[in-house]
Structure 1
Amino acid sequence: MGRLPGEIKAKVFARAMRRVSETARTRVVRRQAPRLDLSQKVIREKTTARFNAGGHTAEVVVRSGWIPLFKLGATQTSRGVRVRLRGSYRHAFIAKMDSGHTGVFRRVPGTKMVDKDKEQIRELFGPNPAHDITNNQDVYIAVMAEVLEEVLAPRVMHELGRLLPR
């Protein structure tokens, strides 16, 4: 590996790291889905994988965004709102705002609206995939180490075999 031209080394490592970062993204999503009781699709939408060829670094980024309960399949009941895999939220309701946003809301006891004689409302959210990683770093560091051990070296050899003349 030491005697290879720099151009070939750079190309091999760029291709291998791109594949490794996508594999890491897949494994993180698979690990998070059962932990958060969410589908992989919902978590995958919040997760990106990028490779920086200039710095020879790869990052798997989970954007920190709370998932609205409405996106998780909320249905209105006589007692409140029921959400698949999450249970019931008593006194909650589903409403569509003037802006077009639909969500699950609940009144905040002890607060008053400025114009009306009603209490203020707050939207209810489900889990945040980024917070799971922050709060359980050991689990995800193990996932990343596992990916590096299992995927990086074989992938470098595979890409090297594709680039070298026979």
Structure 2
Amino acid sequence: MIQITNDQIERVNLILSGIPGGAQKAISSVIRRANSTVKAETVRQITGTYAISAQRVRAGGNIRTQVQKADGGVVGTVTFAGYKLPLYRFNVTPTLPIQRAEVKAAVMRGNGQTPFVHAFIARMKSGHTGMFERETGRSFPVTEFMAQSTAQMAGNEEVLEQVSEKAQETVNKRIEHEITRILNGYGG
């Protein structure tokens, strides 16, 4: 959780007391910037921890930021939603449908690939390519291997810790910047 301390709020209120709504505008801008930092840094940390590209993280999930007025203050929220991502979007070999090739996959960056004995890579009629396994000896039905969702990856302790540190740094830097901006007549 990222916080703006009481001392920081009092300082903003004291300096911007002569400007109507100046303190709230400054705090809102700081929170908006912190939300943007959380959004970007989460994707950066996920791609550093998991064997998946930023493009696939963004495509597989919905990351929303919001700033709203609350009981006498302003609150910023970042929400992550989405479905489980196909394992094929992570570190999988082979990448194209090849017959009789051993399929290997890794979800975490830095871990070796694990072989899947009965798995195969296929492109379905819908155009979706994935890593599948037959449930029986017959051709169908098949089951696709799935991995974590964007929200689950964002909830990883290492990812959360790094994102929180970066967002708190942003808050601490941006408070001074927003005070100066409003005192100079920008946004105030």
TM-score when scaled to structure 1?
0.72
Larger RCO of the pair (alpha carbons < 8 Å, separation 6+): 2
Higher-strand-fraction structure: 2
Note if contact 1:76-1:82 (Cα within 8 Å) is conserved in structure 2: no
Checking the alignment, whether the CA contact within 8 Å between 2:52 and 2:89 is kept in structure 1 is no
Partner of 1:48: 63
**Is the CA contact 2:103–2:116 (under 8 Å) kept in the aligned structure 1?**
yes
Tell me the distance in 2 between the aligned counterparts of 1:153 and 1:82.
44
Structure 2 residue 175 is the aligned partner of structure 1 residue 156: yes
Match of 1:105 among 94, 107, 132: 132
Match of 1:22 among 36, 40, 44: 36
- Alignment counterpart, residue 47 of structure 2, candidates 33, 37, 40: 33
Question: Following TM superposition, by how much is the alpha carbon of 1:107 offset from its aligned partner in structure 2, in angstroms?
Answer: 0.6
Give the number of equivalent residue pairs. Answer: 158
Cα pair 1:79 1:91 within 8 Å, conserved: no
SS of 1:37's equivalent in the other structure is coil
Are positions 1:122 and 2:143 aligned together? yes
Q: Secondary structure at the match of 2:77?
A: strand
Residue 87 (structure 2) aligned to one of 44, 59, 69: 69
Q: Give % identity.
A: 23
- The answer for unaligned runs of 5 or more in structure 1 is 111-116
Question: C-alpha displacement at 1:82, in angstroms?
Answer: 5.1
Q: CA RMSD in A?
A: 3.0
